[in-house]
Each structure stands twice: as structure tokens, then as C-alpha cells.
Homo-oligomer: A and B are copies of this chain.
Amino acid sequence: MQTHDAAPAGAVTTATGAPPHRGRGRRPAEEVRADVLRTVGDLILSEGLADLTFERVARSSGVSKTTLYKWWPSRGALALDGYFHAVEPALAFDDTGDVRADLSHQLHSFAEVMGTPGGRALLQLVGGSQTDPDLAAALSDLYTSARRRLAEERLARAQEAGQIRGDADVRVLVDQLWGAIYYRLMVPDGVTVDAAFVDALVDHLFDGVTPR
């Protein structure tokens, strides 16, 4: 466009709450998409997965249900997408050479994050995936699968470096570390996730519980 037009083009009027935008014509896809993800992220962190409906997202975001259904095939897909735009999970995994220290650090961070609203939302997503195959698949593809792989790779390197016994199964170790944390959070029978718990997770596995 060669004119003296002052159009902001890609300006995304972030603002709070719902963007105004009166009129029913077409809007840039990214703008619409951003509105949706912001709304979903807010909803899922503040009120949880149970109250997240297409209807509410449409109302709160100013985006029509038609558009929502066009881009997100299910409630789970929408929730997951909004969730990851809200929390931006850190997938990096330190490698200082000391696998026990690295694991401990990583697990403490993980336990801490799981105590936030974002952590609770993740638990609800895992919960919902038990009855929603689409959500289960999306959750695996977008998050848990990558995290498991990163952890397994770090542990495999440690095993090659001789820091973990050769006959141990590093994939099982992931379940006994992260899985144990998930379990305490999802089935909290009078137990809590604290620093001592995380320390015990690592100690038990590396030292064994059989008396010397």
C-alpha cells in the first residue's frame, strides 16, 4: 500500500478483558486467535477446566463459536492450547555432569511449579484426558511426551557415563520420580508434596532402601 495510510497493520490491541471491535466483518486471524488464547488461559488458570466451555470462551473473548469450532476441534484441544500460551513451560534440562544434583534440581522446580494455578490446571488436563482421547493425544503430543523424552535422555546419558547402573531402566525411573509427584498431587490422601518428599524420591532410588 503506497498511500499515506496510518494503519497500524499488525497492531494487536491487547488491552484488558474483551477487545472492543464492533461490527461483524472479518478480522485478521492472528488477532482473533490471540484473543481466544488469552481468554482461555485466563479462564483455565482462574477457574479451572471444569468451567471452561466453548460458550463462555465465545462470550468472554468476543470470538464467535463458529470460529472456535473451526480451529479447535474439542474442548480439550482448546484448553490445552490456551494453557500452553499462558504458562510457557520451561522444558530445558540442566546437565552439569552430576545427574543426582541435576535431577534433584529439576524435580524441586517441577514440584514448585505444580503448586501454582498452572500446575493445578495441568492436573485437571491430565484428569480430563482419562475420558477424552483427543485431549490425551494432544496432551502427549504437546507436552508430556517431550518432557518424558528429555528426562529419559538425561538419565540415559548418566547411565552411559556410569552414574546409573546398567541394568536399571531409565524409563521406569521417570515414573518413579515425576510419576510419584503426579500421584501425590492427584490422589492426596493426607500427604503433601514438599522439599523433603522430593529429596526422598531421589535418595530412595539412588541409594536403595535395603539396609547395608
Contacts and interface: CB of A to CB of B under 8 A. Distances in A.
Interface of A: 1-5, 48-50, 70-73, 77-78, 80-81, 123-124, 126-132, 136, 138-142, 144-145, 148-149, 162-166, 168-169, 171-173, 175-184, 186-191, 196-197, 200-201, 203-212
Given A80-B2, A148-B189, A190-B145, A168 B209 contact: yes
A81 B179 CA distance: 27
Copies in the complex: 4
A175 to B, nearest CB: 4
A209 B173 contact: yes
A73 B4 contact: yes
Given A50-B132, A210-B164, A187 B140 contact: yes
Secondary structure type dominating chain A contacts: helix
A41 to B, nearest CB: 14
A202 to B, nearest CB: 10
Contact of A182 (B138, B149, B179): B179
